[in-house]
Structure 1
Amino acid sequence: MVCNRYHVHDLGVIITYNYVVPYCTAAFGMSAALAAIMGYAANGFHFVGCAIGGQIADRKGLSTMMLADVILMIVGVAGILYTPRSMKFMWMLIISIALLCMFMYSAQALHYAVLEEGEYPVEIMGAVTFIISPLGYSAESIMPLYNGWCLNHFSGLEGYEMIFKTFIGMLCIAIVAILIFRKLTKERRTEMAEMRKKGEEAN
C-alpha cells in the first residue's frame, strides 16, 4: 500500500504536467505555438530519463532511484513555478521542464519494478498489481477535476500557482511513502545489494 501511495501521487503529477504549456503561455507571454513546441521538445527527454533511471536503478537500487526521481521532480516543478516571468530567463524554464520530464518518466518506469524490493511472493504479484492499478490510476480522474477547480476558483496565474504548489505537495507525500517503504524493506535491499556486488565481481 505504501508503494501504491507513491503510484497515485506520481500519476497525479503526470496528469498535472499537461498544465505546464498553458502556464508558459499565460506567465511568460509566449505564443501558444512556441509553448507547445517547447513542451513537445521537452518530451524527448522521456527516453533519456528512462535510460538513465534504469541504469542507476540497476546499480544503486530501485527505491534509491525512485527517491532521486521525486526529489529532482520537485526541483523541476519549483523551477517552473519560481522562474522570473521574463523571456530573458527562458533557459531556466527549459532546464526545469527538462528535469521534470526526464525524472517523471524515469519514476513511472519503476512503478512495478520496485515491488521486487518488497520480496512479495511471485504467486501473489498478479493480485497485488490488480489492486494497485485501479487505485493508482484513480488520480487520472481526480486531478483534472481538482486542477479545473483551481483555474476556476483562482484568478489569473494564481490558479496555475495553486496547481503547481499542490504538485510539489504531492511529491513531498511521495517522498514520505518511499522513505517508509525503504525502512520496511531494508533487509531485502541489503540482500539485493550484496547480490549485485557479487554479480559485478563475477563479471
Structure 2
Amino acid sequence: MELKKKYQTVFLLTCGLCIWNIVYLPSFFYVPFQKAFQMTNEQMGTLLSMYGVIALLGYFFGGMVADKFNPKKLMVLSNIATGLLGLYMATFPNYNALIIVYMAFGVTSVMLYWSAFVKSIRMMGDDDEQGKLFGAFESFYGIVSLVLSYIILLTFSNYIANNGHFEYVIISYSVISIIIGFFILILYKPEKNASNMISTESKFNFKALPQALKLPVTWFNSIIVFTLFVIISGSSYLNPFLNSVYMVPVTWATALGIAIKYGFRVFVSPIGGSLIDKYKKSSKVLIYTSVLIITAGIFLLILPKNPKYMVLGVVAVFIFCVVNNLPRGCMYVPVAEAKVPVEIVGTVVGIVSAIGYSSDVYIWKLFGSLLDKHGNQGYNYIFMILIGSATIALVTGIIYDKYLLKLDNKSGKVIS
C-alpha cells in the first residue's frame, strides 16, 4: 500500500476515535457538562474514574481480543455501540445510571476499539514508517476532533449558555459516531496480510501473555504511556483553571479547552513523530521533551493566580500544551521500535495500555477532590503531579535509550 493510501486509511480509522469525544465530554466541555448534570468536581472525577476501572480491563483484554477477532468488525461495533450509549446519556439519566453508562463506555470505546486500531496501523506500515503513521494519527485525531467540537460549540453555544440544552451536544457526537461506524464498515479494506494476523485458534492465545510480560519494552512502554497520560489528563483541567483563576468566560474557556485537548495535536504531534523518525529513537525525543514539560510546568506553578494576569495565564497554558503534545508519538512507537513479534503485538499493546492508562481509575477523582477541598490552590497540586510525572518520564527515557543501544548491538533482536 502506498504511503498516501496509508494516510487515508489512518484518517478513516482515526475518525472512529470520535467515540472518545463522547466519553471525555466532562473534560473539554467541563463547565457546561458539570452544570447540565449538576455535579461536584469530585463527582465529575468519579465518573471518569469508574470509566477508567472498566477501561483498565478493556485495555488488557482488548489486546487479546484484537489478536483473535477481525479488527474491522471490532471497530465498527465499537462506534455504533458507543453512539447508542451516548444517545441514552442525552436523556440526562440520574447519577447512578450515568455511572453505569460510563462503565459501559469502558467496554465499547476501549476493549473493542483501541487495540484493534493500534494493531491495524501497526500492520499498515513498515518499521521506518511507524513514527509518521502514528504522528499522522495524532494530527488527524486533533483535526477531526477540533473541527467537530468547534462546529458543535458554535452551533449550540447560545443554547448552552442561555438555555442549558447540553443534550444537543451529546446527541451530535453520538449520531456522528454511529455514522462513522458505517463508514468504516463500507470503506475500510485491510490488506490481506493484516487479515491473516487474526488467530485461527478457538481460544485466546494466553501463551502470548507470559511472552509479552518478559519483554523489557513492554514495561518501558507502559511507564512511558503512564507518565505521559497523567500529563495529558492533568492538561484537561487547564480549561476550568482559566475560567476559575483568571475569569476567562465559560464559552471562551470551553473553546480553549477544545484547543487544549485537540488543537495542539494538529500541528505539534506530527513534529514529535517526525523527530522520532529523524533521530531513529523515541527515547531521544522523550528525554528532550520531558525537560521542556518540567520547565513549563514549573512556570505554571509559580505564575501569580490573579485575574489581572489573565493574558500571561493564557500564554503559560499555551506553552505547556505545545510542549506536552510533542512526545505523544513516543507512546505508540516502542512496540515497533523494539521489533516485537507481530503475533503478540496486540497482547503487548493490551498490557501497555492497561498499565499506561491505569491512572484513569483514580486520577480524575483525585484531581476533582483536590479542587473541591483546596479551591484554586488545588491547581498548584495538580501542576506538581504533572511535573513529577514528567520527571519519571525523563528518567525512563534515559534508561530506555540505553536499552535501545543494546538492542542495536544485538542486530535488532528484541531483548527478553
How big is the shift at 1:9?
1.6
Query: 2: distance between equivalents of 1:53 and 1:189?
Result: 22
Q: Which residue of 1 aligns with 2:364?
A: 144
How big is the shift at 1:94?
3.3
Match of 1:47 among 266, 272, 294: 266
Q: Specify every segment of 5 or more residues in structure 2 that has no aligned partner in the other structure, as ranges.
A: 1-218, 412-416
Q: Which residue of 2 aligns with 1:199?
A: none
Match of 1:11 among 196, 209, 229: 229
Letter in 2 for 1:113: V
Structure 1 stretches of at least 4 aligned residues deviating more than 4 Å after TM superposition: 86-91, 189-192
How big is the shift at 1:21?
1.5
Mapping 1:52-201, distance limit 5 Å: 52-60=271-279, 61-86=281-306, 89-153=309-373, 155-188=374-407
SS where residue 12 of structure 1 aligns? helix
Query: 1: distance between equivalents of 2:330 and 2:338?
Result: 13
How big is the shift at 1:136?
1.4
Query: 1: distance between equivalents of 2:408 and 2:306?
Result: 46
CA contact (8 A) 2:272 2:328 kept: no
Q: Which residue of 2 aligns with 1:196?
A: none
How big is the shift at 1:112?
1.9
TM-score by length of 1: 0.80
Q: Which residue of 2 aligns with 1:24?
A: 242
Q: Which residue of 2 aligns with 1:198?
A: none
Is 91-100 or 155-164 further displaced after alignment? 91-100
Query: CA 1:107–1:71 in structure 2 vs 1: closer, same or farther (change >3 Å)?
Result: same
Query: CA 1:59–1:27 in structure 2 vs 1: closer, same or farther (change >3 Å)?
Result: same
How big is the shift at 1:178?
1.6
Query: CA 1:21–1:186 in structure 2 vs 1: closer, same or farther (change >3 Å)?
Result: same
Is 72-81 or 142-151 further displaced after alignment? 72-81
* Structure of higher RCO (CA pairs closer than 8 Å, 6+ residues apart): 1
How big is the shift at 1:169?
0.9
SS where residue 29 of structure 1 aligns? coil
Query: 2: distance between equivalents of 1:111 and 1:191?
Result: 24
How big is the shift at 1:4?
0.4
TM-score by length of 2: 0.42
SS where residue 34 of structure 1 aligns? helix
How big is the shift at 1:89?
4.4
Letter in 1 for 2:378: G
Is 85-94 or 162-171 further displaced after alignment? 85-94
Q: How many residues align?
A: 191
Q: Which one has the bigger helix percentage?
A: 1
How big is the shift at 1:3?
1.8
How big is the shift at 1:138?
1.4
Does 2:275 align with 1:33?
A: no
Q: Which residue of 1 aligns with 2:167?
A: none
CA contact (8 A) 1:79 1:92 kept: no
Letter in 1 for 2:304: P
Does 2:220 align with 1:2?
A: yes
Query: CA 1:124–1:157 in structure 2 vs 1: closer, same or farther (change >3 Å)?
Result: same
Q: Which protein shows a greater Rg?
A: 2
CA contact (8 A) 1:7 1:111 kept: yes
RMSD: 2.5
